Amino acid sequence: MSFVRYKKFGNKEYAYEVTAYWDPVKKKPRQKSRYLGIVVNKEKGVYKRKQVEQKTEKLILDFGDTYLLNEFMKHEDISNLLEKVFGDRTNYMLSLLCYRLCHASAMNYARIWYDGSISRFLFKKVNLSSQRISNFLRDIGDEQIQRDFFKHYLSSTFAKAKKKNGGVIIDSTALPNQIHFPFNAWGYNDGSIDKQIRFLFVIDKNSSLPLFFRYLPGNIVDVSSLCVTVEELKRFGVENSFVLIDSGFFSEDNIKDLYTEKIDFLTRLPSSRKTYKDLIREESANLERFDNAVRYGERALFIKQKRIDLFGKDAYAHIVLDPERKGRETRKLLLDALEEKENGEAEIEFKLMKKGVMILTSSFKMKKEEVVPFYYLRQTVERLFGFSKDDLKIVPLRVHKEETLRGYLLLTFIALVVFVLLKKSIGKKHTVEEILLTMRNLKCKVYDKDILVQELTKQQKEIIEKLNVIVPKNMGI
């Protein structure tokens, strides 16, 4: 048996259908009710139920990778730094940074990535057409903008270690290309001659963060650029007590300037130098002695130290012999020499003496155990060059104006800063590429008024917890 019951709340009356029934478990009569709606006409039994709005799914987008990067840049205060420098163009810069890190491909594909990513809602009204990107890179290539960036960056929290008690690593790499450009010049690279631009990097020794970059014509040799780089760093308040440089920067002028500026250094002595040849002839016979033995990881090395005169200044030579490397190189040299029988004995004898040997020179005294680990901090730069070329696809260059080149290199530099910070935060267990690909699999569905984020996998939960990022269940549009 059923009847209608009415209830009044405020100025509206609601109708419910009540049905009586027998409960066989509790053995007594009970009632259940069903909502009929708002009373329109009680006498005629007309009621109106509120229609539940149905959400219509409009899009499915990549969510996790871009969202993670955007939140990470906020957490590391990078977004705030970019806001100070780029103002109302910050969203454009953030979108390109996410593109370079999530999908390091040619810039002309950026629009396709943007349309299929949550970036279209995080960075609204950004036009990533090829022409607009070229215009943006040209604009941020302005020298005043770049000076403003380094002024803010080098005084920011993630460049604290640049102060006097720190030190820097300076190195350069070639960016081969075939574009018609004033800075493009023929230069030597990896055993061949290419049209190229030189890309010089300054890295903080303590934090491994990129501090500064310069670009040079491809025919400018490294020795010509060191002093200018040190002077430019001073303009930004970077006073160095130590520089670690490769042998390409070794020259009399550079070494004397470092002494004049009271900047300590460690570098590799080029094998073409007379000092190198004299030390090989004088010390190689006495290198393999137990009192010269030093452990370096799982390797055993011989290191002999000697005070030397370096362009009229007191310096220290560190003669390093790797027995394993000496064995491999000696075997190859002997087989080649016995096969060809062309080289004179004196020349072969000297080559045998220097096999497996490198000579480092410093302006200060060092413990034998510290020499090789200290020098191999340079591998930090090599890794960053590798990240720039392999992960961020800095080459091939596709720009044709100097302003656009400066803008492109600045974009790559900032992306590399984010990359390094992200790598340090996630530790050795994962690579940056791995976590971004894992997070890209986190999708979101776009409705008329909001965005619904899909469920996180176990691996995705581990990543966001490691990086202290909170992923919402839904977002407003």
Q: Which residue has the higher pLDDT, 301 or 16?
A: 301
Domain boundary among the residues 309, 338, 366 is at 366
Residue 183 lies in a domain: no
- Does some domain include residue 382? no
- Give me the domain span that covers residue 420: 59-140+402-476
User: Residue 377 pLDDT > 80, yes or no?
Assistant: no
Per-residue confidence (pLDDT) for residue 136, from 0 to 100 = 93
Least confident window among 194-198, 200-204, 255-259: 194-198
Tokens encoding 102: 């999530």
Residue 31 lies in a domain: yes
Whether the predicted pLDDT of 12 surpasses 60: yes
Is the confidence at residue 160, as pLDDT, over 80? no
Do 353 and 408 fall into the same domain?
no
Output the pLDDT for position 399: 59
Which of the given ranges, 16-25, 160-169, 273-282, has the highest pLDDT on average?
273-282
Pair 410, 345 in one domain: no
Question: pLDDT-derived band of residue 164, with 50, 70 and 90 as boundaries?
Answer: very low
Statement: residue 96 has pLDDT above 90:
yes
User: Are 203 and 380 a contacting pair, CB within 8 Å?
Assistant: yes
Whether residues 298 and 342 share a domain: the answer is: yes
Q: Is residue 87 part of a domain?
A: yes
Q: What is the pLDDT of residue 158?
A: 45
**pLDDT tier at 363, thresholds 50, 70, 90:** very high
Same domain for 278 and 361? Answer: yes
Peptide bond into 323 cis (omega under 30): no
How many separate domains does the chain show?
3
DSSP states of 190-227: TTEEEEEEEEEEEEETTT--EEEEEEEETT--GGGTHH
Residue 44 within any structural domain of the chain: yes
Which of 5-14, 98-107, 139-148 has the least mean pLDDT? Answer: 5-14
Q: What is the pLDDT of residue 358?
A: 94
| Mean predicted confidence (pLDDT) in 26-34 | 79
Residues 119 and 38 in one domain: no
Q: What is the pLDDT of residues 217-239, one digit of tens each?
A: 867 766 778 888 888 888 887 87
> Do 29 and 68 reside in the same domain of the chain?
no
**179, part of any domain:** no
According to the model, what pLDDT value does residue 246 have? 81
Which of 90-99, 333-342, 402-411 is predicted least confidently?
333-342
DSSP state of 477: -
pLDDT greater than 60 at residue 159: no
Final residue of a domain: which of 366, 384, 410?
366
| Rounded Cα–Cα distance for residues 202 and 171 (Å) | 7
On whether both 31 and 76 belong to a single domain, the answer is no
Provide mean pLDDT across the span 187-210: 71
Cα distance between residue 85 and residue 73, in whole Å: 15
Residue 87: the pLDDT is: 94
Res. 54: pLDDT tops 80:
no
* Statement to judge: residues 44 and 63 lie in one domain: no
Please provide the average confidence, as pLDDT, over all residues in the chain. 84
Distance CA 95, CA 329 (A): 50
Q: Are residues 82 and 40 in the same domain?
A: no
Q: Tell the residue number behind the tokens 């040799």, with chain if given.
A: 221
Measured CA distances, 316 to 91, 179, 201, 279 (Å): 51, 44, 26, 12
Neighbours of 81 (CB within 10 A): 21
What is the value of pTM for the model shown?
0.74
Cβ contacts of 5 within 8 Å, gap of 6 or more: 15, 16, 17, 18, 33
Residues 100 and 41 in one domain: no
Write the CB contacts of 326 (distance below 8 Å, at least 6 apart in sequence): 355, 356, 357
Dump pLDDT digits (tens) for 257-294.
889 888 889 999 999 999 999 999 999 888 999 999 99
- Look at residue 25 and tell me if it is in a domain: yes
Lowest average pLDDT, out of 171-185, 242-256, 291-305, goes to 171-185
In-domain check, residue 230:
no
277 shares its domain with 340: yes
Res 6 pLDDT > 90: no
